[in-house]
Amino acid sequence: MIPMLRQLLLALALTSSLPAASQAQWREPPRTMEAAPQRFTGCRAVDGDTLACRQGRVRLRGVDTPERGESGYRAAQRELDRRTRGGTVTVVPHHRDRYGRVVGDVHSRGGNVGRSMDADGYSKRRGARR
């Protein structure tokens, strides 16, 4: 009887802690790259927050758009493409993510693309802000 009660209490404790863990605030890694602006050319939107450029892939810092299959994915991808295609973007690197992409502030046509995408409602309502 006692082992079954112990298992029940453990399961209850684990279940009650799940919502808090899933809503935990994402923390940005420390800067590991020099903050010297770099020019990236030939960029196209892979999704709503990633660019594929001649110099490599770049992840927009400070925005997390819907993933493939989620509502809003295509709109975010098209908007990022519209804001960056056909010109040179300036990237201020911050760090590399687990996929090897440069994560940084992307500037195009005089503005911070990630911040403006976030301000215009292309970010997920909750989740990571990378």
Indicate the helix (H) or strand (E) that contains 35: none
Q: Is the dihedral of CA 110, 114, 120, 122 positive or negative?
A: positive
pLDDT of residue 21: 46
Question: pTM above the 0.85 mark?
Answer: no
116 with 60: CB under 8 angstroms?
Answer: no
Does the structure show a pLDDT above 60 at 129?
Answer: no
Report the C-alpha gap between 110 and 104 in whole angstroms. Answer: 16
